[in-house]
Amino acid sequence: MTTIKPPVLQLKSVSRHYSQGGRKLSILDGANLEIATGEMVALVAPSGAGKSTLLHIAGLLEPPDAGEVVLAGRTSGRLSDDERTALRRNDVGFVYQFHHLLPEFSALENIMLPQLIHGLDREAAQERASQLLDYMKIGPRAEHRPSELSGGEQQRVAIARAVANAPLILLADEPTGNLDPQTASYVFEALEALVRQSGLSALIATHNHEIARRMDRRVTLQAGQIIETK
Ligand code: ADP
């Protein structure tokens, strides 16, 4: 018998409005989205369309004004603040356009830290961090600090850090937006291999159409709705 897994992420009729200079700006207006286990979805929309807002809401960093975000089968609006924080910490990995690595720590330590905070012992955290660095093909750079790494290497460390605690979904906000096209392609290849190998789901905002085409589905934001595109 095959078991049908529920979607990892569901946005149900989600709305988010900002007020700008007395005007109401509708970023999301009853938007819906479902992401299945292991699915990679590209979010392609112009600057200012609301990609970051959508990723923040999907990752439980901010609540919607209306509607529901269901992550790993749990309706976030029904959780206490502590439960929501735990859900986000356990099940969501974030990657941003800029790496946000801690400058005073090595690549290895940057990947160990979230695991230590999560309660893993030092040895286990170090082993997993080393494996992830090898997987991202930057094993030899383990002891280097972020300032000693190239932009592509910094992003690969940031991706490894985001998945260090084995989340269910990776949310990435233009993770290759700051890289030249060749490096962007190489970094995305590493990210894709990691996602495919671990069965992780991913929602990745990108302006790069070549990268978007390599994912399973593409969505955009239009008039407050999340729409499937080619
Ligand atoms: P994107 O990531 O696609 O560039 P954002 O989600 O950052 O878009 O922003 C969408 C729109 O919402 C923009 O017009 C932005 O100016 C506006 N916006 C974002 N955050 C706020 C806020 N806290 N208050 C008011 N307006 C905001």
Distance 48 CA to ligand 1 centre (A): 6
Is the CB of 52 inside a 6 Å radius of any atom of ligand 1? yes
Distance 50 CA to ligand 1 centre (A): 6
Query: Is residue 1 pLDDT above 60, yes or no?
Result: no
Q: What is the pLDDT of residues 108-155, one digit of tens each?
A: 999 999 999 999 999 999 999 999 999 999 999 999 999 999 999 999
pLDDT class for 50, splitting at 50, 70, 90? Answer: very high
Is the CB of 22 inside a 6 Å radius of any atom of ligand 1? no
Ligand 1 binding pocket mutation candidate from 14, 15, 25, 62 (most atoms within 8 A of CB): 25
What was the pLDDT predicted at 99?
86
- Give CA–CA dist 114/4, Å, rounded: 31
Q: What is the pLDDT of residues 146-186, one digit of tens each?
A: 999 999 999 999 999 999 999 999 999 999 998 999 999 99
* Angle ∠(222,32,3) on CA atoms, nearest 5: 140
Percentage of residues in the chain having pLDDT higher than 70: 98
Q: For ligand 1, atom 13, which residue shows the shortest CA distance?
A: 48
Is the CB of 21 inside a 6 Å radius of any atom of ligand 1? no
Q: For ligand 1, atom 15, which residue shows the shortest CA distance?
A: 48
Query: Is residue 199 pLDDT above 60, yes or no?
Result: yes
Q: Across the strands, what pairs with 134? A: none
Distance 213 CA to ligand 1 centre (A): 25
pTM over 0.85: yes
Burial 41-63 (b: 16+ CB within 10 A, else e): bbbbbeeebbbbbbbbbbbbeee
Distance 8 CA to ligand 1 centre (A): 25
Q: Cα 78 to chain center, whole Å?
A: 23
